[in-house]
Amino acid sequence: MEQMQIQHTIGKLGRWLEEGKYAQSTVYHFKVTTDRLLEFMDAKGHRDFNTSIGLEFLKEEYSIIPGLITSGADDTRYRLVRKLSEIQLHGIPQFRKKIRTYIVPDGFRVATESFLDYRRFQGIIERNISTIRLYLERFFVYLTSQSITQISRIEAKHIHGYLLYIIGFSNQSRDHMMRAVRQFMGFCHKNGFHPEDLSPHAPIVHYDKRSRIPSAYSQEDVMKLLSLIDRANPVGKRNYAIILLIARLGLRAGDVANLQYENINWEENRVSLTQHKTGNPISLPLLEDVGLAIIDYLKFGRPKCDSPNVFVRHRPPIGAFRPGAIYSFVASYIGKAGLLEQGKKHGPHSLRHSLASRLLEENVPLPVISAILGHADTNTTATYLSIDIERLRGCALEV
């Protein structure tokens, strides 16, 4: 890709960001990052751009290494360079999250809404309906790039092409996306939206759940992380209470972000809520240190506002904040604690894994751990057996 062509790709990504109404901070990072990329390529004598050059640029110019990113700015830079590679390979960038401005094309809309209504009738909760919609929207973005705007014009080659388009996702994510396509195409054939059943052309992407060892930190590591939080200021009080809820009770970041006053029963010292991910209720004991941290925040840290949420943003507009914000500051504390390792997760979910690991070490029965973590199936919790290193060592035969 010559300089003229990389500039064309940069311009295409800039228009995509503008049409998607991305935040001004993202647009700013885009301009600064791409200007430095062009200077980097000139200095290195690169006439072609590819993913390897993009990663080389991020490492040399910003010390960014995939898998060890803790700041929001570096994450934005990494995603922008990745999208340049996606435009180079596919002509359009992929999107990981819901695009608020995306509208399902007319040729797909009736079938899509009918399919989603059918899935609701089957008992799929609304949160999972949104995920299915996201997977289908990615499929439609690819189809539109191939000039396919009607359900009836979809062919097997388009499904195979889409599988290549999502190659950058994990096998687990690709399997979930292809399952959505497989079910959708089967539904379209049965209900007259497509003359042929193309569902067999959406393959199963094989992956082994149990081969993915969850990331976990020792109790000493978690205590080291907590000790770094400055509890003398309001934000520190909030972050400390949030991390305790995750590390001590095993709550998901989304449930902590959405935690409301009514979810805490102070008289019985319990936290009761409906899990955002599963839609299932859960009730846990409010441990003393967790309760004291929440009280400290409510009395001396939480800004005054009308939000029913326990934890709120401290910068205007003051109110409820996204679970992604929890990921950012947890990753930051893990980095400051010197706990970052290549290939090891460093978000709030790793603290849930750490709790599961500690409970296993203390010989807590698996069904009890499942109840604490809010898993409907103990098979899900069984994945955590792979991080009980001490028990695995005890099973080893002497050499």
Nearest to 135 by CA among 101, 107, 163, 154: 163
8 A C-beta contact, residue 17 and residue 30: yes
- With tokens 């409907």, the residue in question is 376
Query: CA 121 to CA 44: how far, in whole Å?
Result: 58
For 39, 57, 63, 88, 390, the CA distances from 45, given in Å and listed in that order, are 10, 13, 20, 19, 51
Q: HSE-up of 396 (CA within 13 Å, CB side)?
A: 7
Q: HSE-up of 128 (CA within 13 Å, CB side)?
A: 15
Nearest to 81 by CA among 13, 141, 8, 5: 13
Q: Which residues participate in catalysis according to the annotation?
A: 252, 277, 349, 352, 375, 384
